[in-house]
Amino acid sequence: MTRCLDCGSPRTADQCPVCGLTSAAAEVMFRRRFLKRTGVFLAGSLVFPYVSQVYPPLDIDLMLVVFGVVFFVVLTLAVILDRRARKHQELEMLKHVYSGFILLPWILAATLFVNGRLDSQKNVAYHTAVVDGRYNMPGIVRGTRRLIVRSWREGQKYERLAVDADDYDRFKPGDQVNVGVEPGALGIPWYYGVYRR
Ligand SMILES: [Zn+2]
């Protein structure tokens, strides 16, 4: 038994008994929706790394890895969906899994935005630290610059601070600094700034 690519109803003839579309027309409808959803996902995938630099969580690299995995899974699903749709094969289940991923980058971005935006500057706590190292990796969205300092958090060895270009150039290994950290309105601590001691 196959299902209609558009409405998902079981069908025995080429024309769907529920929505009335032929299998070719249903594929066109499916593709239109599929492209729109993929567009929403890709837009979110640009917004999330951007927000993650405006209100960078201390665990930014962990979040970026999780996001990278999601991105890879969604692209793989998109290729499989496209191939199966072309062959008019069953894809109800995959369609639902795919939809579930579409808003994820937006949810991550909104979480970081609210976490930072609703936090008060009065909450900044300063931690003394010494710059241990730094690295710079050029990228699509403003690149990745990190100052590495010994961590003040329990169970955490280093902090990789998501600094901007100015701060990146301003500090060298061995510099004594104060690191400003905000607790986050949603409880996700984020990096506020780094200052010379
Ligand atoms: Zn149908």
Q: Which CATH number fits the domain that encloses residue 159? A: 2.40.50
Same domain, 50 and 146: no
Instruction: Measure the CA angle with vertex 107, ends 144 and 159; round to 5°.
Output: 35
- Determine the straight-line distance between the first and last CA of the chain, rounded to whole angstroms: 71
Residue finishing a domain among 96, 117, 138: 117
Same domain, 69 and 92: yes
Residue 96 Cα to ligand 1 middle (Å): 16
Distances (CA, A) of 62 to 66, 158, 187: 6, 13, 16
Domain count, the chain: 2
pLDDT, tens digit, 9 for 90 and up, residues 130-168: 999 999 988 765 678 999 999 999 999 999 999 998 999
Same domain, 55 and 76: yes
Residue 10 Cα to ligand 1 middle (Å): 8
pLDDT, tens digit, 9 for 90 and up, residues 173-196: 999 999 999 999 999 999 999 999
Band the pLDDT of 76: cuts 50, 70, 90. Answer: very high
Dihedral (Cα; 170, 123, 58, 111), 10-degree rounding: -120
Same domain, 137 and 91: no
- Contact call for residues 40 and 103 (beta carbons, < 8 A): yes
Same domain, 36 and 112: yes
Residue 29 Cα to ligand 1 middle (Å): 10
Per the structure, the complete domain to which residue 11 belongs is given by: 2-117
Same domain, 140 and 113: no
- Enumerate residues with CB within 5 Å of ligand 1 (an ion): 4, 6-7, 9, 16, 18-19
